[in-house]
Structure 1
Amino acid sequence: MLKKAETGKVIKRAIIGVLALAVAGGIFFGLRYYMQLQEYKKRIEGIVISRVDLSNVRDGSYRGSFDAIFVGAEVVVQVKNHTIERIDLVKHKNERGAKAEAIVDKIISEQSVTVDVISGATNSSKVILKAVENALESQKDNQ
């Protein structure tokens, strides 16, 4: 049987061990998040939206995506007679950028992926635009 003083030491060591593990876990996950955040910023800053010449895009349905870690999008773009008829947003991973989904209507009305981003949802807008551009450009790979 442990004496009262020895029991206190065992409990104290257990508490210190648990606290040490919690601190180590916090540091690990904090560093992991920081590294992901830096990569996210790098990907967002690296997005360049290029004009797509719709006269070179055949009729069809094209799938495209873009992932920037915290924000991502997958789209299906329907083209008929060199016109973007419809864009389905299959997936949209976002933090607070749900209102960026309105950019789909802007793309269709302007028939271009070089439209202004949605204020307050800039990163999500850029990701959706890049996914649409990737979809339209993917048809070139299938020629």
Structure 2
Amino acid sequence: MRRHARLLRTLLVLVALMVALSIVSQAVYGPWLRRTADALVLSSPILSYRYPGVYEGSAHVGHVAAKVRVTLGSQGITAIEFLQRPLGNMDPLIAEVVRTGSVLVDAVTGATISQKVTLKAIDNALMQQHP
């Protein structure tokens, strides 16, 4: 009986420690993750989408990562395929980027970290263009 009580006490201490570490990590890591994602800069001007081809780009902030393959036609972005997909539904964002032909879409206002990382991955792919 005594052994079970000691084991139970040890388990409770471990659970309490895990909860405490989780709270501390969220208090530190969460704000850092948001600040870092907010600092991502989209660099590819729409005028530079003039070299048809297939380009790959990736981006990550902390544990959130995206890798994409962007297809450019003579009229702009024709397709975007995920090689590594972040959490969340990115389909509406991808549809908007293809529709507008730009990473500078209105969805950025209030965008999630996953959306910002996805846009930066697309941006990085577009920056790979060369004649």
Structure 2 length normalisation: TM-score?
A: 0.74
Q: Distance in 1 between matches of 2:107 and 2:92?
A: 10
| Alignment partner of 1:139 is 2:129 | yes
Deviations 1:93-133 (A, max 9, x none): 22xx31x32222222222221111078x7213322221111
**Which whole-Å CA distance do the structure 2 matches of 1:108 and 1:14 have between them?**
57
Aligned residue in 2 for 1:115:
105
The total of aligned residue pairs comes to 130
Residue 62 of structure 1 is aligned with which of 37, 55, 58?
55
Aligned CA distance change for structure 1 residues 12 and 103 (closer, same or farther; 3 Å): closer
Higher RCO (CA-CA < 8 Å; seq separation 6+): 2
Matches within 5 A, 1:5-84: 8=2, 11-55=4-48, 57-69=50-62, 71-81=64-74, 83-84=76-77
Give the Cα separation in 1 of the matches to 2:48 and 2:86.
31
Whether 1:87 aligns to 2:95 is: no
Distance 1:81 1:32, change over 3 A: same
Aligned to 1:122, the other structure's residue is in SS state coil
Contact 1:64 1:134 in 2 (8 A): yes
Residue identity matched to 1:25: M
* CA positional deviation for 1:82: 6.1
- Specify every segment of 5 or more residues in structure 1 that has no aligned partner in the other structure, as ranges: 1-6
CA distance in 1, matches of 2:13, 2:48: 63
Q: Counterpart amino acid of 1:87?
A: I
Give structure 2 stretches of 5+ with no counterpart: none
TM-score (norm 1): 0.69
